[in-house]
Structure 1
Amino acid sequence: MTFKNPKIILLKKKLSLPKPWDIIVIFILNILITIPLFLIAHQNLIDLDWILHLDRVIIFIVLIVLIQLLLRLVKTIIILIIFLYVIILLFGTLFGDYGFTRVYEDYRYMIYAMKENPNPQDLIISKLLPFPNKSKIIAAVEYNNPKVRNFAVAATTKHFKNVKKSGDLRVMIQCFAVFKEIRNNWNYVNDPKGREYIAAASESLQHFSGDCDDHAILMAACIKAIGGTPRIIHTGGHLYPEMLIGSQKELETATYYIKEVLFAKESRSQQIHYHIDERGQIWLNLDYTATYPGGKFMSEEILGALTF
């Protein structure tokens, strides 16, 4: 015969919820717990590249089933669990780097990357260190803004218009035209002292001035606006843009056009600098310090990457 402490029984009653609210609250809490856990799994597990991202769907379903079972086992103290969950995320928001905002940003970026990003493994790179001002930078890359689109289109009619091209080669050469136009007009200007100022792409178009992150944002927005695939690299104290070229074969084509047709003078006796990602995809440096696509890196270190 067992005896239960009346105080413990009373405490459990206070920490439990009446039916059917317990089922509803457990399901909501399950979703709130599953999302950050799924994001961690998504960022650190190899992407099997299944159709419709079915591997990620299976991971999400497995997590939600396991957490649902676990929460049902401890439903008598469900209010305490909710309280602890909120405290953990609140602590992360105020004192750490993973809180309510980070969960929302990571989930939004993951969904965006699954739909748009040809190189989803970049998400693994971007988590080596928190990407500085990530949400502001994503918002500033206004590739759908008519001013940004019109500027990029105008650059393609100003430079290399008579070079014969079609398909992916045409996109690449037009992106090089955008690089040339921005590079020819860019004026480096520091941020206000003691403050990080993030200029939107449309804002930078007014005077073609700003620091490295403003240049990277404008370049990425313009390249994306005309069908290219850019990414912004974080090196610690510097941000710069890169452009997806593709395979080794596409790199050979790009090298020929850069050195023999489009930037022969600027690239004479110079090397083409690029990064190879986890999928073997090649990205050319488009930093403001480079006088031609694939110019020398200001810093080769990669601490984070945002692909658009």
Structure 2
Amino acid sequence: MMTTFKGFISKYREKFSLPSPWDSIVIFLLNILLTIPVFIIAHQNFINPHWKFPIDRILLFIIILVAFQLILRVLKTIIIICIFGYLLILLCGTIFGEYSFYRVYDDYRSMMYTMEENPYPQDIIVSKLLPFPNKSKVLRAIDFDNPKVRNFALSATTKHFADIKKMKGYGYYRTTIQCFAVFKEIKTRWNYVNDPKGNDYIASASESLQHFSGDCDDHAILMAAGVKAVGGVPRLIHTDEHIYPEMLIGSQKDLDNVIFLIKKVLFTEESKNKEIHYHIDERGQIWLNLDYTAYYPGGKFMSEEILGELTLN
């Protein structure tokens, strides 16, 4: 009985293994294909110290590579099953839209680009801040559901970056690209005008659309309303003498892809040789600067001191 079982195992091992040296070649290729997506996931979830030279990420890649090499060497007698399992996982990801072949490539490309562009400035904004000034009045002014505001935001998305949203690989960030279209339209048309002396006038977003003029809080209100109108999540940051808007980007993985979009696709000239500026809140979410002083999303902060924030969920 035991002899028969051993013979059965030996028979099927031969069927699911490859002859030398093909087994070593296939193991190496499969190792690379497994290491890359696992490395991307690890990079996105491990704390990034933003060193000038990313030695921590190089060591991480080597550790994952060696680990998979050892595992695959042990499993080399069933290497064909391993190949089939890998292809099946990626095929399911492609069909159900979770993690397709192209997303692996796209995430890897964006990650490598941002590692080369490292470091990027960041601050952690905690929730224990001062009350936001004129909060209820500002919230009423952000009338994103006003037809004028909604129609303006929609027109901006058809005027800017309309073709890019249709390109392969960018559909996942369609809302972000549309928010950037709103940013570009407002940035192109905004005219800074002070409030009447001694009067802190707060214009609604729909009112500001008439002349695209006003001070920093009027701009921030209009930008927040436009971003909100196309499905983005904006917030306002209050400093000592300034208010500016930010929009939610998401996680570290999203930041990598968005930085690639800004610097290589959407705002190549405006952001050339410049850094991307953002904040990280206490939950680890990343917010990108959309101030009127910035020529591209993530431009330099006008004021670093943060006193309060107002988020529109």
Name the residue aligned to 2:258.
Answer: 254
Name the residue aligned to 1:292.
Answer: 296
**2:248 pairs with one of 239, 244, 262:** 244
Give the Cα separation in 2 of the matches to 1:229 and 1:205.
20
**1:198 pairs with one of 199, 202, 208:** 202
- Residues 127-157 of structure 1, C-alpha deviation per residue, up to 9 Å, x if partnerless? 5222111111000000110100000000000
Name the residue aligned to 1:10.
Answer: none
In 1, are the aligned partners of 2:237 and 2:308 still within 8 Å (CA)? yes
Structure 2: stretches of 5+ with no match in the other structure: 1-123
Name the residue aligned to 1:50.
Answer: none
**2:178 pairs with one of 174, 196, 201:** 174
Distance verdict in 2 for CA 1:168–1:218, change over 3 Å = farther
Give the Cα separation in 2 of the matches to 1:133 and 1:236.
14
- Residues 232-252 of structure 1, C-alpha deviation per residue, up to 9 Å, x if partnerless? 000121000000000000001
Give the Cα separation in 2 of the matches to 1:199 and 1:273.
27
**2:309 pairs with one of 300, 305, 308:** 305
**Mapping of residues 58-97 of structure 1, within 5 Å:** none
Name the residue aligned to 1:223.
Answer: 227
1:208 equivalenced with 2:212 (yes/no): yes
**Mapping of residues 256-275 of structure 1, within 5 Å:** 256-275=260-279
- Residues 34-58 of structure 1, C-alpha deviation per residue, up to 9 Å, x if partnerless? xxxxxxxxxxxxxxxxxxxxxxxxx
Residue 139 of structure 2 aligns to which amino acid in structure 1? Answer: I
Fraction of identical pairs, as percent: 72
Name the residue aligned to 1:143.
Answer: 144
Name the residue aligned to 2:44.
Answer: none
Shift of 1:271: 0.3
In 1, are the aligned partners of 2:237 and 2:246 still within 8 Å (CA)? yes
**1:189 pairs with one of 182, 193, 197:** 193
Residue 283 of structure 2 aligns to which amino acid in structure 1? Answer: R
In 1, are the aligned partners of 2:138 and 2:221 still within 8 Å (CA)? yes
> Secondary structure of 1:164's partner?
helix
Q: Matched residue pairs, number?
A: 186
Shift of 1:167: 5.2
Name the residue aligned to 2:236.
Answer: 232
Shift of 1:294: 0.2
Residue 137 of structure 2 aligns to which amino acid in structure 1? Answer: K
Shift of 1:301: 2.1
In 1, are the aligned partners of 2:165 and 2:171 still within 8 Å (CA)? no
Name the residue aligned to 1:61.
Answer: none
Residue 202 of structure 1 aligns to which amino acid in structure 2? Answer: S
Name the residue aligned to 1:152.
Answer: 153
In 1, are the aligned partners of 2:130 and 2:307 still within 8 Å (CA)? yes
1:128 equivalenced with 2:129 (yes/no): yes
- Residues 180-239 of structure 1, C-alpha deviation per residue, up to 9 Å, x if partnerless? 000000000000001100000000000000000000000000100110000000012100
Residue 140 of structure 2 aligns to which amino acid in structure 1? Answer: A
Give the Cα separation in 2 of the matches to 1:140 and 1:275.
24
Shift of 1:298: 0.3
> Secondary structure of 2:196's partner?
coil
Structure 1 vs Structure 2 CA RMSD: 1.5
Give the Cα separation in 1 of the matches to 2:277 and 2:172.
20
Name the residue aligned to 1:73.
Answer: none
Residue 145 of structure 2 aligns to which amino acid in structure 1? Answer: N
Shift of 1:168: 4.5
Give the Cα separation in 2 of the matches to 1:171 and 1:278.
24
> Secondary structure of 2:157's partner?
helix
